[in-house]
């Protein structure tokens, strides 16, 4: 290994000659030097801070082939293209490439002619592939999007979680090949799990750069029907563009984009939708146009943003509640990478919470469902289709239960689509994982009602407690007068009297629960709970009180509450003390309805299902949550009746599916689910657009199988 000084000189020279950069960004050089010294390391660095360079530069300096494992084909392709454009020798192996391309990549790897080989984690399951990789010692092993390894990451993937079992053979030697795990979204729990799963040897951790000094965060309660108008009004100001608007569904992304572009809103903004339901050509065209400045706004689902390197994005708007704080931070981080002032807006309401509860119940069904499937399994292999048919569960319920059983070790599914029984320990890990998912949503909800600095809360969420103690001075909590979407007013004299009464009541105690405080004060009794909470928040903004989230357990159920205590300024507060009390008063009139929106408190979860209350799955339309916006459906499944021609198409599709599953060594339902196959045979689509409209046919499948499927639909006989 090179000495520190020597490695620094090599790295600096390569930085200039290969990448064209005069100097390192913050924290990059220390990471590269650790990799050059052969250290295992975990790098947690925000999107856009230059993580990729931290494995690419030392890989070139160390020589040999860097093995890069990435779960995202689009990101893999983007990084490979950029390295190739710099004159480096790069190859990829993933499901979207022709077999011949993959075979040539393997040959080039074994001959040592590659500098980088990108592979998808699923490839390591292919018999003989890990052994082939182990025949040649890589220069280093980089694992991108490493949070996917952890069961506490926001994208739990079985193939990624199994990476640790393959690494010892790949890195064997007197000086083990260094392993670099890189991610933009890892909380302390996820960080610890990554290190454990990968079996890292004396790893060094680099957790850096989560504070964004130029980013102002604003959170506002906005009813769903009013969000389109508010977003149009916000983005009517050219200084707030370019912008990304994150929608909660494909339908919402299209309707918002149309609203922005239409003349009906009064401002014709160059906007377009972006989501996974669009074909790859359209998505590529939208992304390229946005990068080039031909589009001012992209209205997207979370499918948009990976690999985006547009520095001048001024605004990021969330048109609904995100699922995790990690994902939210990553998305707002795409604003203001040029260092200029930028602003983000998070719109939420009770309807968002109900939507998340519904999807939580869908994705994490009751453990009883898993137990029903587990009881039906045996040591002898059984076809998935037979088990599904014999199950008392619905088709989707069965598939979801089997998927979770396989993830947690209760079932084993082979490449032929046969299932055998797994271990009995699945229930504990499944319930822990389901509870963790529910807690992620709870954290997002608490973030929207928190009185702490928005940026400081996010910094602390990622484990940087020291930097998390410093307020940003820009967000709607730190600078309410500077808020754009939220309206604040000064307290009335009667509200000032109530504030004094609150301070007097708290003066003799360390802290008090907010509910207890309201019940004990006669003056406060005149206020509703929402009005009282708004007054407490105003006291926090004025520096008079601090509010802390707390919890206790009662009858096996975790009860969360807020407790409030006086600060030094609060202790000194007297009736004639001059103070600035700013109370949240809804949205600014130009952006929507003025006045505070109604807030309904979340009901406690059902004890019988730790994932979420059973009633959350029975969402019905309401004024606060129109069904057309939520896109939550509780429609009974009606069997599709195929015509004679449809039956013939279905037969051809089944024959093709069986052959394709055998070729890919996967269960048949992975290629195409029975329900999707029947829908295709019924609709007999004539082009890729029509094929994409069928539930279960996403862009990846249409890109991979679309031509064959359309041919089978068009064939006669």
Length of the chain: 717
Task: Give a yes or no: residue 101 inside a domain.
Answer: yes
Whether pLDDT at 575 is above 60: yes
Structure token pair of residue 622: 């309401």
Task: Give a yes or no: residue 688 inside a domain.
Answer: yes
Task: State the virtual CA torsion across 424, 427, 428, 432 in degrees, nearest 10.
Answer: 150
Task: State the virtual CA torsion across 232, 237, 240, 245 in degrees, nearest 10.
Answer: 10
Alpha-carbon distance of 254 to 151, in angstroms, equals: 33
Structure token pair of residue 428: 């504990």
Of 196-205, 455-464, 486-495, 668-677, the one with minimum mean pLDDT is 668-677
Alpha-carbon distance of 108 to 114, in angstroms, equals: 6
Task: Give a yes or no: residue 241 inside a domain.
Answer: yes
Burial (CB count <10 Å: 0-12, 13-18, 19+), residue 93 = buried
Q: How many other CB atoms are found less than 10 A from the CB of residue 52?
A: 18
Same domain, 196 and 262: no
Structure token pair of residue 18: 């290969």
Last residue of a domain, one of 578, 609, 631: 578
Please report which residue ranges of 18-93 form alpha helices under DSSP H. 28-36, 53-62, 73-85
* Torsion over CA: 157, 159, 165, 169 (sign): negative
- 92, 116 in Cβ contact below 8 A? no
- 567, 546 in Cβ contact below 8 A? yes
Task: Give a yes or no: residue 425 inside a domain.
Answer: no
Same domain, 325 and 203: no
Reported confidence tier of residue 4, pLDDT bands at 50, 70, 90: very low
CA angle 710, 713, 714 (to 5 degrees): 90
Q: How many other CB atoms are found less than 10 A from the CB of residue 637?
A: 9
Same domain, 463 and 503: no
Task: Give a yes or no: residue 395 inside a domain.
Answer: no
Q: How many other CB atoms are found less than 10 A from the CB of residue 196?
A: 12
Same domain, 249 and 194: no
Of 275-284, 349-358, 421-430, 472-481, the one with minimum mean pLDDT is 275-284
Contacts of 511 (CB under 8 A, 6+ apart): 548, 563, 564, 565
The domain spanning residue 527 has which CATH number? 1.10.10.10
Distances in Å between the Cα of 131 and the Cα atoms of 36, 123, 126, 168 are 26, 12, 10, 12
Last residue of a domain, one of 551, 578, 605: 578
Query: What's the mean pLDDT in 393-397?
Result: 88
Reported confidence tier of residue 600, pLDDT bands at 50, 70, 90: very low
- 299, 245 in Cβ contact below 8 A? yes
Structure token pair of residue 179: 């392993």
pLDDT digits over 477-524, tens only?
888 888 888 777 888 888 888 999 999 999 989 999 888 888 888 766
Alpha-carbon distance of 681 to 445, in angstroms, equals: 43
Q: What pLDDT does residue 577 have?
A: 87
Nearest to 269 by CA among 308, 305, 315, 302: 315
Q: What pLDDT does residue 642 have?
A: 86
Same domain, 203 and 223: no
The domain spanning residue 236 has which CATH number? 3.40.50.300
Same domain, 197 and 75: yes
Please report which residue ranges of 450-488 form alpha helices under DSSP H. 454-461
Distances in Å between the Cα of 521 and the Cα atoms of 22, 209, 499, 525, 534 are 63, 44, 11, 6, 16
pLDDT digits over 179-213, tens only?
999 988 788 888 888 998 898 888 999 987 788 89
Bigger pLDDT: 451 or 615?
Answer: 451
Q: Tell me which DSSP letter residue 466 carries.
A: T
Task: Please state the separation of Cα 702 from the chain's center in Å.
Answer: 24
Task: Give a yes or no: residue 172 inside a domain.
Answer: yes
The percent of residues in the chain predicted with pLDDT above 70, rounded, is 86
Whether pLDDT at 413 is above 50: yes
Q: How many other CB atoms are found less than 10 A from the CB of residue 303?
A: 17
SS3 of residue 510 by DSSP: coil
Phi/psi of residue 156, each to 5°? -70, 110
Which residues share a beta bridge with 401? none
> Which residue range forms the structural domain that includes residue 329?
215-356+450-467
Whether pLDDT at 650 is above 60: yes
Helix (H) or strand (E) holding 353: helix 350-363
Whether pLDDT at 619 is above 70: no
Distances in Å between the Cα of 65 and the Cα atoms of 118, 169, 658 are 10, 16, 37
For every residue of 159-203, DSSP letters joined together read HHHTGGGTHHHHS-SSSPPPEEEEES---HHHHHHHHHHHT-SS-
Read off the pTM: 0.65
- 495, 583 in Cβ contact below 8 A? yes
Same domain, 80 and 153: yes
Q: What pLDDT does residue 556 have?
A: 67
Q: Tell me which DSSP letter residue 524 carries.
A: G
Q: What pLDDT does residue 587 have?
A: 63
CA angle 203, 208, 213 (to 5 degrees): 175
Same domain, 156 and 243: no
Q: How many other CB atoms are found less than 10 A from the CB of residue 589?
A: 11
Same domain, 240 and 305: yes
Whether pLDDT at 303 is above 60: no
- Helix 28-36 × helix 4-17 angle, to 10°: 120
Q: Could you tell me where the beta strands, DSSP code E, fall in 491-645?
A: 512-513, 545-554, 557-566, 582-587
Q: How many other CB atoms are found less than 10 A from the CB of residue 511?
A: 17
Whether pLDDT at 607 is above 70: no
Q: What pLDDT does residue 112 have?
A: 94
Task: Give a yes or no: residue 72 inside a domain.
Answer: yes
Whether pLDDT at 57 is above 60: yes
Same domain, 291 and 328: yes
Contacts of 8 (CB under 8 A, 6+ apart): 29, 33
Q: What pLDDT does residue 588 have?
A: 60
Structurally, the chain folds into a number of domains equal to 4
Same domain, 256 and 203: no
Q: What pLDDT does residue 149 have?
A: 83
* Torsion over CA: 60, 61, 67, 73 (sign): negative
SS3 of residue 245 by DSSP: strand
Which residues share a beta bridge with 218? 345
Q: The tokens 């650790």 sit on which residue? A: 34
Task: Give a yes or no: residue 414 inside a domain.
Answer: no
Produce one character per residue of 607-629: b if its CB has 16 or more CB atoms within 10 Å, e if not: eebbbbbeebbebeeeeebeeeb
Of 34-38, 390-394, 417-421, 465-469, the one with minimum mean pLDDT is 465-469
Same domain, 291 and 195: no
Q: How many helices (DSSP H) and strands (DSSP E) are in the chain?
A: 29, 21
Distances in Å between the Cα of 406 and the Cα atoms of 124, 152, 381, 395 are 17, 17, 14, 17
Alpha-carbon distance of 325 to 187, in angstroms, equals: 10
Last residue of a domain, one of 207, 239, 258: 207
């Amino acid at each position: 290994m090179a000495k520190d000084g020597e490695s620094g000189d090599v790295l600096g020279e390569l930085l200039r000659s290969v990448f064209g950069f005069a100097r390192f960004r913050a924290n990059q050089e220390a990471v590269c030097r650790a990799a050059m010294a052969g250290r295992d390391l975990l790098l947690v660095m925000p999107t856009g801070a230059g993580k990729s360079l931290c494995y690419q530069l030392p890989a070139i300096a160390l020589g040999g082939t860097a093995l890069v494992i990435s779960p995202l084909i689009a990101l893999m392709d983007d990084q490979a293209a950029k390295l190739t454009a710099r004159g480096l020798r790069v190859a990829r192996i993933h499901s979207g490439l022709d077999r011949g391309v993959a075979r040539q990549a393997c040959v080039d790897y074994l001959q040592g002619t590659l500098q980088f080989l990108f592979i998808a984690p699923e490839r390591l399951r292919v018999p003989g592939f890990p052994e082939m990789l182990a025949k040649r010692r890589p220069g280093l092993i980089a694992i991108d999007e490493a949070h996917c390894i952890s069961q506490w990451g926001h994208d739990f993937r079985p193939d990624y979680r199994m990476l640790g079992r393959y690494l010892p053979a790949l890195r064997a030697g007197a000086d083990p090949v260094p392993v670099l795990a890189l991610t933009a979204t890892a909380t302390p729990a996820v960080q610890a799990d990554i290190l454990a799963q990968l079996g890292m040897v004396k790893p060094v951790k680099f957790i850096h750069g989560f504070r964004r000094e130029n980013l102002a965060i604003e959170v506002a309660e906005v009813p769903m029907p009013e969000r389109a108008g508010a977003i149009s009004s916000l983005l009517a100001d050219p200084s707030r563009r370019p912008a990304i608007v994150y929608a909660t569904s494909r339908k919402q992304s299209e309707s918002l984009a149309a609203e922005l572009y239409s003349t009906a809103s009064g401002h014709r903004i160059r906007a377009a939708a972006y989501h996974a339901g669009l074909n790859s050509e359209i998505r590529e065209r939208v992304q390229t146009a946005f990068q080039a400045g031909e589009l001012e706004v992209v209205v997207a689902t979370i499918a948009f943003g990976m690999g985006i390197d547009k520095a001048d994005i001024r605004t990021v708007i969330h048109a609904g509640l995100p699922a995790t704080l990690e994902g939210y931070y990553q998305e707002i981080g795409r604003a203001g990478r040029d260092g200029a002032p930028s602003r983000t807006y998070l719109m939420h309401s009770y309807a968002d919470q109900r939507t998340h509860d519904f999807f939580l119940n869908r994705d994490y069904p009751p453990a009883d469902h898993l137990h029903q499937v587990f009881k039906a399994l045996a040591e002898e292999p059984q076809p998935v289709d037979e088990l599904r048919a014999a199950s008392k569960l619905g088709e989707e319920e069965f598939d979801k239960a089997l998927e979770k059983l396989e993830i947690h070790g209760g079932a084993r599914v082979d490449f032929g689509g046969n299932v055998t029984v797994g271990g009995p320990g699945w229930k504990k890990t499944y319930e822990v994982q389901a509870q963790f998912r529910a807690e992620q949503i709870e954290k997002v909800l608490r973030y929207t009602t928190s009185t702490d600095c928005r940026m400081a809360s996010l910094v602390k969420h990622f484990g940087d407690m020291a930097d998390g103690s410093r307020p940003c001075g820009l967000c709607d909590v730190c600078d309410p007068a500077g808020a754009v979407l939220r309206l604040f007013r000064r307290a009335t004299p009667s509200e000032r009297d109530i504030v004094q009464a609150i301070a007097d009541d708290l003066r003799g105690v360390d802290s008090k629960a907010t509910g207890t405080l309201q019940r004990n004060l006669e003056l406060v009794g005149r206020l509703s709970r929402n009005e009282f909470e708004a007054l407490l928040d105003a006291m926090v903004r004025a520096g008079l009180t601090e509010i802390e989230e707390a919890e206790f357990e009662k009858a096996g159920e975790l009860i969360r509450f807020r407790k409030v205590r006086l600060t030094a300024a609060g202790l000194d507060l007297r009736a004639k003390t001059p103070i600035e009390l700013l109370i949240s008063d809804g949205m600014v009139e130009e952006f929507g309805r003025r006045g505070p929106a109604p807030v309904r408190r979340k009901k406690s979860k059902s004890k019988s299902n730790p994932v979420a209350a059973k009633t959350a799955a029975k969402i019905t339309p309401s004024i606060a949550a129109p069904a057309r916006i939520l896109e939550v459906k509780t429609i009974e499944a009606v069997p599709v009746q195929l015509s004679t021609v449809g039956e013939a198409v279905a037969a051809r599709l089944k024959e093709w599916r069986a052959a394709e599953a055998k070729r890919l060594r996967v269960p048949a339902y992975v290629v195409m689910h029975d329900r999707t196959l029947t829908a295709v045979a019924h609709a007999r689509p004539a082009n890729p657009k029509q094929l994409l409209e069928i539930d279960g046919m996403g862009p990846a499948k249409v890109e991979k199988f679309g031509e064959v499927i359309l041919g089978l639909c068009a064939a006669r006989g």
